[in-house]
A = this chain, B = another copy of it.
């Protein structure tokens, strides 16, 4: 049994590689919910949706979010009404949010709803939100923005979408995490996994919220030798999103060495890109084994090749 720790796009690509090299039903994906938000009364789970759409072959590879061939009738009309349309919700995507919201209102857990959606989408990978409780990633801004003066704390989607993550940050916290509990399925999966793969997701705002749920980090520390992470930083930059400058702003060098430092307490092996070969020694100096391979998943074949590496390394 393989367990993956997941954010959004990078994790979705990693999983789309993994399902080509191991049976999908042998994979359990534990997914960040810190990006979740409620908009227009609808519960939106961006990371779960990105992974679901990708594994269902519905993902829009050009944008990295949403559904391919999407239409925008609702959003266009909402804009006509003067509604909030900065968070673009496509018509088919909206159906997911309506479904989730209705089920949650009826008393089902996010785990149950996620399983239903995955089943309907024909996905055999087991998708588990890390918790059924509310965890919300909040960022304190260093600069004045349309949302307020320096020091204003905003939600992840305000930061990521509304402000295009084009603003410096002084702090990140995971609101509600201290009261959240990992689901039983998550706890069991982490305990019984043969291998745990940390997908190339943002260490701070994608993997960070997973670790913030009480019990998860301790479990991972105990499983350190079986944990292999893929660096989301290549040649000092994030392939997508704000991981690089977020790391710098929060005091960690935006490099594979910085990733190694963040992960060292609970990750045994770090996979870095060929571009960072010269830093392999510094990664190992942080106490991690280091594997150097091509990590950029710009095609399904390359995703599968990387998947084979994370499966085979150390076996």
Contact = CB atoms under 8 A, between A and B. Distances in A.
A76 B80 CA distance: 23
Contact of A101 (B41, B73, B77, B95): B41
A43 interface: yes
- Copies of this protein in the complex: 2
B81 A40 contact: no
Contacts of A92: 73-74, 77
Contacts of A91: 71, 73-74, 77, 91
Given A41-B43, A42-B40, A43-B41, A99 B81 contact: yes
Interface residues of A, number: 31
Contacts of A80: 95, 120
B120 A98 contact: no
Interface in A156-185: none
A222 interface: no
Contact of A82 (B38, B39, B75, B120): B120
Interface string A41-65: 1110000000000000000000000
A99 B75 CA distance: 10
Contact of A117 (B76, B81, B95, B101): B81
A23 to B, nearest CB: 25
A78 interface: yes
A116 interface: yes
Contacts of A120: 80-82
A110 to B, nearest CB: 14
A81 B94 contact: no
B73 A98 contact: no
A102 interface: yes
Contacts of A41: 41-43, 98, 101-102, 105
A81 to B, nearest CB: 5
Contact of A94 (B94, B96, B117): B94
A83 interface: yes
Interface in A91-150: 91-92, 94-96, 98-99, 101-102, 105, 116-117, 120
B117 A96 contact: no
Contacts of A77: 91-92, 94-96
Nearest to A101: B41
Nearest to A92: B77
Interface in A21-45: 38-43
Given A81-B120, A116-B82, A101 B40 contact: yes
Contacts of A94: 74, 77, 94
Given A74-B91, A80-B120, 6 more contacts: A40-B102, A41-B102, A73-B73, A74-B98, A75-B95, A83-B98
11 contacts: A38-B105, A39-B102, A41-B105, A71-B71, A71-B91, A81-B96, A81-B120, A82-B116, A83-B95, A83-B102, A94-B94
Question: Sorted from nearest, which 3 A-B pairs have the closest CB atoms?
Answer: A77-B95, A41-B101, A40-B98
